[in-house]
Amino acid sequence: MKMSNRWNHFIYRLWAPIYDSTVEHFFRPGRQRAMALLAPQPGEHVIIVGVGTGADLPLLPGGVKVIGIDLSGEMLKKARQKLPHCRADIQIIQGDAQMTCLPEDHFDAALLNLILSVVPDGTACLRETLRTLRIGGRIIVFPIFVLQGQIYRIQ
């Protein structure tokens, strides 16, 4: 099936109530490794593209300013429930990862866990993320379909 924002709204409305209790544990080691590679530092601005239910949010250290963006309002409701248990300064926004309307050259780092294969245009999502990064910024990509837990670092 070809991905579309309409399909993603539908499917993630269904997944939101059960995502953390059913499939998240399979992805937890990859998320932890991705966050370790990203190594966000106090004072940095980080974007999490496809923040979903916010599984990455508790892994963030204090002193980091974060914007988490996702298309699904239902998934974001779950993410907001995790905010009281997080050390970072986190803002959650609903939006399209392919065209975020976030400022250019703003973020020090970006985390793209399990997103590029589910957005309709993964190239547009990556291009948009790069647009928001400062020169010298870094991206960690944890793709959904990987062998041996491969995670990619782009710097």
More confident residue, 4 or 31: 31
Helix pair 73-82, 5-15: axis angle to 10 deg: 50
pTM flag (> 0.85): yes
Confidence at 148, pLDDT banded by 50, 70, 90: very low
Binned at pLDDT 50, 70 and 90, residue 88 comes out as very high
Enclosing domain of residue 91: 5-154
- Domain tally for the chain? 1
Q: For residue 76, what pLDDT is reported?
A: 97
User: How far, in Å, CA of 76 to CA of 52, rounded?
Assistant: 6
pLDDT tens readout for residues 95-122: 999 999 999 999 999 999 989 988 999 9
CATH of residue 122's domain is: 3.40.50.150
